[in-house]
């Protein structure tokens, strides 16, 4: 359990370090929100008044410590642009992003594991070659390009139509909401599926070369049973790591997909805030994205430690 505690501590310290670098990076960006907000015709007095109202005349270290204190209590402050509470906007936007990412994960993870097992079962045969070709093609294409291809195919070629930006209402997993997010979910699944499938296959093939697997095969155990019962349990650690990395991408990397499909999630919210230099919103989105990425990777490390008896009981 000492290793687990160390991973958790390291994860928390990493999030703190990211928050400091994020704040410093935003401070070093050229331009000024007050000047941009008031326009080129603003007088120096009005700019100074806005800066004083927003606390921009306070030293950067004091502002960071104040912001950090607020974050520690769950308060991300107030948006400079619309003077609304960032927490409320962030919660609704994160709910939309979580709905999109989790739906994609519910499809991609089981499908990747299934295709990985199929590829190993038919290793160097037609199903394996077909899966490899399709996965390589998927990995080679950028996510935004996949999104535009799907829009072109479904909206223009098939004439299915592509609706306006949507906000899921009521219970999330309803048929209507799933229809509305079908294309962005399909894009995310295509983007992460190939990587997870190939890593699952590589982990299984590595274990399949072990002597105990050969013993099981010589005893006449069916191939699928060898894979599921003997090989799969020993691939938990590498598969957990690759799944965690791709889950982190589904939440953090969804920014591009939300912009492509004009989806009202955290990614779109983040891009809009960067455009107008709304620093409280940029900082809030940045720290949430960072925390999600670090926490998911930390969970993968913890699962790897728990699944490895040599790490859990070093003596």
The residues spanned by each domain of the chain are: 2-72, 87-312
Tokens of residue 106, six digits: 């519910």
pLDDT tens across the length of the chain (315 residues): 677 778 788 888 888 888 888 888 877 777 667 766 666 676 777 777 877 877 777 788 888 888 888 888 888 888 887 778 888 888 888 888 888 888 888 898 889 888 888 888 888 888 888 988 888 888 888 888 888 888 888 877 776 655 555 555 555 556 667 777 888 888 889 888 888 888 888 888 887 777 777 777 777 777 777 777 767 777 777 777 788 778 888 877 788 888 888 888 888 888 888 877 788 888 888 888 888 888 888 887 777 777 666 555 555
Burial of 102 (0-12, 13-18, 19+ CB in 10 A): middle
Q: What are phi and psi of 85, to 5 degrees?
A: -65, 125
CA atoms within 13 A on the CB side of 207: 22
Is the pTM here over 0.85, yes or no? no
Concatenating the DSSP letter of every residue in 159-200 gives -----------SSSS-HHHHHHTHHHHHHHHHHHHHHHHHHH
Helix (DSSP H) and strand (DSSP E) numbers for the chain: 16, 0
Domain covering 87-312 in this structure, CATH number: 1.10.3720.10
7: Cβ contacts below 8 Å, ≥ 6 apart: 298, 301, 302, 305
CA atoms within 13 A on the CB side of 163: 12
Residue 233 Rama label (left phi>0; alpha psi -120 to 50; beta): alpha
Is residue 296 within 8 Å of residue 244, measured between CB atoms? yes
115 C-beta neighbours (distance < 10 Å), count: 22
Is residue 230 within 8 Å of residue 209, measured between CB atoms? no
Tokens of residue 181, six digits: 């997010």
């Amino acid at each position: 359990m000492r290793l687990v505690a160390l991973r958790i501590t390291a994860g928390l310290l990493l999030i703190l370090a990211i928050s400091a670098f994020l704040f410093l990076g935003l401070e070093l960006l050229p331009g000024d929100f007050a000047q941009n907000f008031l326009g080129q015709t603003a007088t120096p007095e009005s700019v100074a008044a806005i800066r004083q109202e927003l606390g921009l005349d306070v030293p950067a270290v004091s502002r960071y410590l104040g912001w950090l204190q607020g974050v520690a209590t769950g308060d991300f402050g107030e948006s400079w642009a619309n003077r609304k509470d960032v927490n409320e906007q962030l919660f609704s936007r994160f709910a939309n992003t979580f709905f999109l990412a989790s739906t994609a994960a519910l499809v991609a993870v089981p499908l990747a594991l299934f295709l990985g097992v199929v590829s190993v079962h038919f290793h160097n045969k037609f199903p394996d070659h077909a899966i490899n070709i399709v996965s390589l093609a998927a990995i080679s294409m950028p996510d935004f390009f996949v999104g535009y291809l799907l829009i072109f195919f479904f909206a223009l070629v098939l004439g299915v139509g592509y609706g306006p930006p949507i906000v899921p209402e009521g219970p999330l997993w309803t048929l209507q909401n799933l229809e509305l997010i079908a294309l962005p979910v399909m894009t995310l699944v295509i983007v992460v599926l190939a990587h997870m499938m190939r890593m699952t296959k590589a982990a299984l093939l590595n274990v399949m070369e072990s002597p105990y697997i050969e013993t099981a095969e010589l005893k006449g155990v069916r191939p699928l049973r060898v894979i599921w019962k003997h090989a799969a349990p020993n691939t938990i650690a590498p598969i957990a790591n690759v799944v965690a990395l791709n889950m982190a991408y589904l939440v953090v990397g969804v920014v591009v997909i939300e912009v492509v499909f004009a989806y009202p999630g955290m990614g779109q919210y983040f891009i809009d805030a960067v455009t107008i230099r709304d620093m409280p919103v940029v900082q809030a989105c940045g720290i949430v994205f960072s925390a999600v990425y670090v926490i998911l990777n930390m969970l993968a490390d913890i699962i790897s430690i728990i699944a490895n008896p040599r790490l859990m009981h070093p003596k």
